[in-house]
Structure 1
Amino acid sequence: MHFAITSEQERSLLAADGDKVGEFLEELEESRENDALTVDTDKAWDAIHRCLTDGTLDPDGGAYPWSHAVLGGRHLSVDWYVVYVSAAEVRDVAGALRTVDRTWLRRRFDAIDRRDYDGARDDEDFEYTWNNFVDVQTFYERAAAAARSVIFTAT
């Protein structure tokens, strides 16, 4: 799940450590005040990250700013993915995602190594990935317009 967070939430999150990060996330999930500033990609985040980067789940793989759409950024937990992207980086990511079209994403999707990816990597899996990618594109546009930072979370 991606969340566009307020400046106040950003300060709280960046000041948190260990269990406090988990508590922050619980509160954030319970208090989603604006669904336009959240997006749930279910399991598609895996393929989306791979398509936007070097085909792996390496958070440092691929080029900035595409790498920061899902797993790239500042990691705030060692137990699960809690990845922070600053408001300035969100603007960069939104701009980069604008350049991605269906044909480009399909080419990248088809290049994912089958041995390293648990998805089906068929037409249905691509449609699922594409539809969720479009949601991520829209989400980053809204987050950038609102000058918000973003966190991505997954267990």
Structure 2
Amino acid sequence: MLGVHYAVTADQEHALLAADGDDDAVGELIEDLEESWSDDTLKVDTDKAWDAIHRSLGDGSLDPDGAGYPLSHAVLGGRHLNEEYYVVYVSAAETREVATALSNVDRDFLRRRFDAIDDPGYAGARDDADFEYTWDNLLDVRAFYERAAAAGRAVIFTAM
């Protein structure tokens, strides 16, 4: 599954929250969002690194609450809007808190947590190249959250 974060407008946020509980409606809104997105500064693609990022920020699992808040909300923590695939909502207030928390994550912290991943469900190589891929993508996610927080936007994470 490929992961993407979007810093959504207030209108997009309201539409997604209104559709919560209707997987088809949420799916259509996400499809529209993907097709019409034009501001690359308020979007970040993490390819498959989102998995290792979430695991490394937390307890090594994909449990949405596996990390303490607010780091848990960098990827999978937050309000899940779809049962079929990941569509995770983080409010604008939470976005600011996630941005602050991510600013304190350094390379050594992430490396220790990455090296501790011991879940057979993790498909990554867990080698130096996999860590570098994870670290580089985390830096992109951190910069994205800083921009989203500065813009006062909520965030939607999707992985399909």
Superposition TM-score tier, normalisation by shorter sequence: over 0.9
- Asked if 1 retains the 8 angstrom alpha-carbon contact of 2:55 and 2:61, the reply is yes
What residue in structure 2 maps to residue 146 of structure 1? Answer: 151
Following TM superposition, the consecutive aligned residue runs of length 4 or more in structure 1 with deviations greater than 2 angstroms are none
Report the Cα offset of residue 62 of structure 1. 1.6
Deviation by residue 1:107-150 (Cα, 9 ceiling, x = unmatched): 11111105332100000000100010000000000000000000
Identical aligned pairs, as a percentage? Answer: 70
What residue in structure 1 maps to residue 86 of structure 2? Answer: 81
Aligned residues: 155
SS of the residue corresponding to residue 13 of structure 2 reads helix
Report the Cα offset of residue 67 of structure 1. 0.3
- Name the CA distance, whole Å, in 1 between partners of 2:79 and 2:55: 18
- Asked if 1 retains the 8 angstrom alpha-carbon contact of 2:60 and 2:119, the reply is no
- Name the CA distance, whole Å, in 1 between partners of 2:84 and 2:56: 24
What residue in structure 2 maps to residue 14 of structure 1? Answer: 17
SS of the residue corresponding to residue 45 of structure 1 reads helix
What residue in structure 1 maps to residue 105 of structure 2? Answer: 100
- Name the CA distance, whole Å, in 2 between partners of 1:70 and 1:61: 11
- Name the CA distance, whole Å, in 2 between partners of 1:111 and 1:141: 27
Q: Report the aligned-residue RMSD.
A: 0.8
Deviation by residue 1:74-119 (Cα, 9 ceiling, x = unmatched): 0000000000000000000000000011111111111110533210
What residue in structure 1 maps to residue 116 of structure 2? Answer: 111
- Name the CA distance, whole Å, in 2 between partners of 1:78 and 1:116: 20
- Name the CA distance, whole Å, in 1 between partners of 2:143 and 2:67: 21
